Structure 1
Amino acid sequence: MNLSKVNYLIGFAAMIAIGTGCAASDSDAQESVAGTNQEIVNNLIQAGFPADDIMEVDGVVYVGRDAAVSLEASREMLQADGSKEQYRTTNLVGSGVRVICVNGSAYTGTFSTALDGAIANYNNLGLNFSLRRTSGSTSGCNATITARLTSGSAGGSSGFPSGGLPYNTINVASSTSQYGTNVVKHVITHEIGHTVGMRHSDYFNRSISCGSGGNEGSAGVGAIHISGTPTGATVGGSLMNSCFRSSETGNFTSSDRTALQTIY
């Protein structure tokens, strides 16, 4: 099969606001960010992630190549019980979150159509939460995810839940549109999957979908098997595979649907 595999990793700039009641100097801010990121890295290593699968890009720490990890989330990973329950993290969206709004004001054309399709992917499953597209208003929202366009190689990034809330941002490179609406919908749906706690379905061997790469690690963050889904992975077997093909439909597979309906 002729596969066009594209990594989800993109380097993203992050704006980090430091509010301490007084202005901090640039050097103080840099030291604060560096110290925070070092704790995140230390927590991830203690949780079981291989050091070579942890990277810092523009002040943001990533694991699994496309999942940003906050300080709070890294601390929660160390508190996880690791019990056995595709794969999910130990951090999930809380039962009190019924409406997750997605601010899609930055998306037009192909990206707008794809975002609507991604939202429908989740809402068609009858989960404990629903997704609602907004253009900035947070009325009636229990949590909000901001959808952003970025530069760079095709693909996207996001992060895992923390404190019972989904990660608050998904990033998709504008160059992803070269692959068409279905692939953009696939990438958006994939990144939303991370925000609600879904791991890569081939986390244990990225070469399955990417052609190269190893094990992303599990341990404290939880590469927890979801009951009723395969323990292995195949090319095209899950929308949550690490890398995508140019032929993606943008729709969940049967195991994706089972996974989400099992945990939500």
Structure 2
Amino acid sequence: MKKIVMPFAVVCITAMTFVACKKDAKTSAETDAVPQSVLAKIQSQGFSTDAVKKVDNGYLVEGDIILTDENLNSKSTSPTLLIAQEEQYRTTNLVTRLPRTVTVSVTNLPTVYVLATQEAIGRYNALPNKRLTFQYISSGTGDIDIYGFNEGPSGGYITLGSSGFPTAAGDPFNQIKMNQNQYAYGSNPDQHYVASVIQHEMGHCIGFRHTDYMNRAYSCGGRRSNEGSAGVGAILIPGTPSTANAESFMLACSNGGNRTFNANDLIAMDYLY
């Protein structure tokens, strides 16, 4: 997830706006370091190729999404691939073998991150008619492990957290990285705000795309960008409306506050899980 820093870091020199995922403006030095063959695969999956970064377990796209080699080499089996307007969208792979409990752990992070993780888990588990639940574990490594990294602002945005999508085998993505840079959450992180970011990243782990992936300017500002029909990876979730989806928990950029499920998010969660 990403946060907007005006004019540049999580604390805009004049205003402090945090965005949840990533920036639109291309950082050519970063993108140029990624092979064109990889960029072509990323684009064919329906993801932005702006400011793509090589990371230890894949490629970071759209500010907070990690695409692994498995993701990039997989093919869609769904015929329901549409050009996005403002609806809710999911990835090709989802968590399977439902009903199912997914364990979540926190590794070497301050207590506020543990409390925020438990809060995010509580938000999911409070949903009605769910076939997917989460459980916090205090020892060992969970199906999803949350740990830290440190990266400063870049191009007016700062990444708050990052994660990836479910595997072809139907398992959730197994990592969420939370930024411990001073400009991400400050010296005294707000638990509810951190919980909202973790809730967003958990959404990616179980197959949600950004609600505004077709126009990141909706939550991030800057220029409009729409990847078009997308070869794979942007599947309409039936029942979600084709109107602006204000305050969705899966908007690309954070509003700096306590954002959770809106009415359309609940429809999407109920349909998928």
Tell me which interval the TM-score lies in, with the shorter structure as reference length. 0.7 to 0.9
Which residue of structure 1 lines up, in the alignment, with residue 160 of structure 2?
155
Report % sequence identity.
33
Which residue of structure 1 lines up, in the alignment, with residue 201 of structure 2?
191
Residues 222 and 103 of structure 1: CA distance in aligned 2, closer, same or farther (over 3 Å): same
**Stretches of structure 2 lacking an aligned partner (at least 5 in a row):** 1-14, 24-32, 83-87, 152-157
Q: How big is the alpha-carbon RMSD for the aligned residues of Structure 1 and Structure 2?
A: 2.9
| 2:244 corresponds to 1:233 | yes
Spell out, residue by residue over 1:144-169, the C-alpha distance to the aligned partner (whole angstroms, 9 max, x if none).
00101221245111001112111110
TM-score by length of 1: 0.76
| 2:221 corresponds to 1:211 | yes
Q: Does the 8 Å contact 1:81/1:220 carry over to 2? A: no
- Name the aligned partner's letter for residue 151 of structure 1: N
Q: Does the 8 Å contact 2:105/2:138 carry over to 1? A: yes
Counterpart-to-counterpart distance in 1, 2:51 and 2:239: 28
Q: CA deviation at 1:59?
A: 6.7
Q: CA deviation at 1:209?
A: 0.5
Counterpart-to-counterpart distance in 2, 1:9 and 1:177: 16
Counterpart-to-counterpart distance in 1, 2:210 and 2:80: 18
Residues 38 and 135 of structure 1: CA distance in aligned 2, closer, same or farther (over 3 Å): farther
Choose from 239, 242, 251 the match for 2:260. Answer: 251
Choose from 127, 132, 135 the match for 2:130. Answer: 127
Q: Does the 8 Å contact 1:97/1:165 carry over to 2? A: no
Residues 99 and 257 of structure 1: CA distance in aligned 2, closer, same or farther (over 3 Å): same
**Which segment is superposed worse, 164-173 or 143-152?**
143-152
Choose from 174, 177, 180 the match for 2:185. Answer: 177
The answer to which structure, 1 or 2, has the higher relative contact order (CA under 8 A, 6+ apart) is: 2
Residues 134 and 96 of structure 1: CA distance in aligned 2, closer, same or farther (over 3 Å): same
Q: Does the 8 Å contact 1:105/1:134 carry over to 2? A: no
| 2:4 corresponds to 1:4 | no
Spell out, residue by residue over 1:87-144, the C-alpha distance to the aligned partner (whole angstroms, 9 max, x if none).
1111111134611111124333321221111001111114212111113436xxxx70
Q: Does the 8 Å contact 1:105/1:135 carry over to 2? A: no
Residues 59 and 145 of structure 1: CA distance in aligned 2, closer, same or farther (over 3 Å): closer
TM-score by length of 2: 0.74
| 2:165 corresponds to 1:166 | no
Q: How many residues align?
A: 232
Q: Does the 8 Å contact 1:226/1:262 carry over to 2? A: yes
| 2:90 corresponds to 1:79 | no
**Which segment is superposed worse, 125-134 or 196-205?**
125-134
Q: Secondary structure at the match of 2:72?
A: helix
- Name the aligned partner's letter for residue 132 of structure 2: F
**Stretches of structure 1 lacking an aligned partner (at least 5 in a row):** 11-33
- Name the aligned partner's letter for residue 162 of structure 1: T
Which residue of structure 1 lines up, in the alignment, with residue 9 of structure 2?
none
